[in-house]
Amino acid sequence: MLLIEDKSAAYKADNEGKMALHVAAGLGRVNIMRELISRCPGCCELVDKRGWNVLHFASTSKNRNAVGLILQNPSPGNLANEKDEKGNTPFLRAASM
């Protein structure tokens, strides 16, 4: 896997500010999420240009396992209460879908 050679790959963003963990969470790809979190735990704290964190993306995937993985992380911090640019928390975002 690319992360073995270069962990900085997990922190590279696209033009919308999304990183690999954001994409994996939005698609509900739990195995990829687990790998990224285990090798680069700091990527959980990053947000895209809209202010979405990994829990915003996981919540919109409608995959309970993706959300659960983030919440089970030893240091989910305050991800559940972080608001995006429109003032939505991850759970408000999921409820609106």
pLDDT of residue 59: 92
> Does 70 fall in a domain?
yes
pLDDT of residue 80: 85
Q: How many domains does the chain have?
A: 1
> Does 2 fall in a domain?
no
The domain in which residue 33 lies consists of 9-95
pLDDT means over runs of 10, the chain (97 residues): 70 95 97 93 93 94 92 76 92 76
pLDDT of residue 72: 87
CA distance 66 to 25: 6
Are 55 and 86 in contact by the 8 Å Cβ rule? The answer is no
> Does 30 fall in a domain?
yes
> Does 1 fall in a domain?
no
CA distance 78 to 65: 19
pLDDT of residue 96: 73
- From residue 20, alpha-carbon distances to 59, 68, 86 in Å are 16, 18, 23
- What CATH number is attached to the domain comprising 16? 1.25.40.20
Whole-model pTM: value is 0.87
> Does 41 fall in a domain?
yes
